[in-house]
Structure 1
Amino acid sequence: MPRDLEITLLRSFVTAVRTGSISRAATALGQTQPALSQRLRKLESTVGRPLLYRSPAGVSPTRAGAELLPYAERILALSAQALTETARELTGHCGVGLLEDLAASRLPQALADLAGMHPGTTLEVLSLSKAAMREAYDSGRVQLVLDEVPDLPGPPRWTVRRPLVWAAGPKVDLTADPLPVILFSNPCTWRTSVLEALDRAGRPWRVAFESNSLVSVLAAVRAGLGAAALMPANLEPSLARHDASALPTLPDVELGLTRHPRTNADPLIDTVETALRRMT
């Protein structure tokens, strides 16, 4: 008998990974922790492999979980879009500004799927500096901006908090003194938070590599230059370190969405905003 991946189980799994905690995921889904844990175990039984590492600090995906995550997120996005958007045809242009870390995640794929369902639309996804994003927003080229709250070009319509996780190549010694760290160059709001977390934990550190590019930071992590703080969506299975108990718990990142005031009641912008909220 063929096995099917149930939508409710996939939603439980994705929410647990996004929030980094069974308790936070249960709250977000309006479930009890035991009920959510049961659903996660059922999904693991269906897949036949453990999907989450569980620790007092929270949960993180196993290699199998990291492999399943992009499929689960895309299935959920397509299901939601099919239920709500196929009854009407959308047209027009929507510019979306994304934090680079989000532009490298599954969000652009979800937006591409949405555009494929509505051939009369044009979606433009941009990842720009704070100043350039402000200019694109003010000029009307970008109607929606999803970024860290301090970097938004306007007040957020909604916000979410997402955890950071430690990433390092398999040969990096996480007990090293000082710890080699890989950082995003200033200005970066979570750079300071990460270093403050290390200082509070009494962990000496040294900067082994820094860059303002996610691609470069990931390359340095793959090369084994040190440990880096990443969003879970950018954590490659080979870089997940589950012995990271030697390192302090990382702070959350607060993301928010700003929408241009001239787009009220625009069906396309409404739809894209809904898709972003579901996938963030």
Structure 2
Amino acid sequence: MIDVTSSEQWQWQEWQGKPYLTCELLRPWQHGFFTTHFAPQMPEEFAAVFDIKPNAYRVKQVHGNVVLSPTEISWEGEHFSQADGIITDGNEQAVFVASADCTPALIGDRLTGQVSAVHAGWRGTAKRILPTAIQKFLDAGSELNNLCVALGPAISGEVYQVSTDVALAMGTSLGFKDLEHDPEAMILALENIEQSPLLFDPEPDKLRLDVRRVNQIQLEQLGLAPTQVAIAPHCTFQEPDNFFSYRRSNEKKVQWSGITSRNP
């Protein structure tokens, strides 16, 4: 059985001298979590990294929980449709999301070959965007045990300081809605979770938050097994050589992550 907690699950690849990450769980698909070295290239250019020449799709990300298919994406004014996730509805479709400190999630169905790319910051996580994407798979005929999810480079909990309000939103997303008006009880409930997503912060009314762990718990609550989820051992804030971080630099620069659907 694959040990998805191991850094061996993640491999550095290279394209034209530029490094990017892949995940063993997503081996059946052409995919990549790209780095700063590819900037300012856009997904249409990244598609050339893959062996096939797919159509590349992206959206205008707004920190929500909308997940669209390529046929639902349109050009609206100066941008593509507003959403934070894309799920394929055909073969050789490449879907991409942009991130800096937020979590890029790539999802695949081992049986159908269909895939999804999701942008999950704390706001999207609070709105349960990953469960929304999983439900899209199920609505399309997927079975839960055929899905695999890779959570890419993002800011780590040990350095991500947030307010109590953000922690309350995370707790509500994990099913503790009855505690949303009782901050002390909510924080205690979150701290009592095994491998808690909350960490201590020395400042009053501040906490450290592991957003990827919250997403992982949401997936576990849906019924995904631990072996179906992999988390990248990389922090965008602490690794400036490879990743942009808005929290670190306050610059609106992003790296892209993408995956291509395949025949069943």
Q: TM-score range by the shorter chain?
A: under 0.3
Question: TM-score, normalised on structure 1?
Answer: 0.24
Rg comparison, structure with higher value: 1
The structure whose residues are more often strand, as a share, is 2
Larger relative CO (CA 8 A, sep 6+): 1 or 2?
2
Question: TM-score, normalised on structure 2?
Answer: 0.25
The structure whose residues are more often helix, as a share, is 1
